[in-house]
C-alpha cells in the first residue's frame, strides 16, 4: 500500500515537469517538414544544394527547440517563437520545391 501511494505521488510530481517541456506540435511539424524535404529531393523538385540548405534550416529550428527546453519549461513566448521559425522554414520549403530549378536526372 505504501509503495502504491509513493508511486502515485512521484508520478504526480514528475508528470507536470515532463508536460512543461513537451512540444508535440513542434515535433510533429518538424517531422512533416523533414518529410516534405525528402519528398522534394526524391522527386527532383529540390536540387542537392537546396536540400542541404533546407536541412540546415531544420537543424536551426531543432537548436531553438533544444534551447527552449533547456531550462525545463517551454513558455508560451518560446512556443510562439518556435512556431514563427517553423512557419518561415515551411515557406522556404514551399518556395524551393516550386521554383524552376530541378535536380539533374541521373543517366
Predicted pLDDT of residue 15: 47
Q: Which residue has the cell 540548405?
A: 53
Residue-wise pLDDT for 19-60, tens only, equals 578 899 999 999 999 999 999 999 999 999 999 999 999 999
pLDDT in tens, 50-92: 999 999 999 999 999 999 999 999 999 999 999 999 999 999 9
67-80: buried (b, 16+ CB within 10 Å) or exposed (e) per residue?
A: ebbeeeebeeebee
Amino acid at each position: 500500500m505504501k509503495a502504491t501511494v509513493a508511486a502515485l505521488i512521484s508520478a504526480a510530481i514528475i508528470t507536470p515537469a515532463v508536460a512543461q517541456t513537451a512540444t508535440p506540435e513542434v515535433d510533429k511539424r518538424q517531422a512533416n517538414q523533414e518529410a516534405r524535404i525528402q519528398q522534394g529531393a526524391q522527386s527532383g523538385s529540390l536540387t542537392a544544394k537546396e536540400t542541404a540548405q533546407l536541412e540546415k534550416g531544420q537543424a536551426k529550428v531543432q537548436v531553438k527547440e533544444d534551447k527552449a527546453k533547456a531550462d525545463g519549461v517551454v513558455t508560451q513566448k518560446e512556443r510562439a517563437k518556435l512556431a514563427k521559425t517553423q512557419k518561415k522554414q515551411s515557406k522556404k520549403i514551399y518556395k524551393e520545391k516550386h521554383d524552376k530549378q530541378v535536380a539533374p536526372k541521373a543517366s
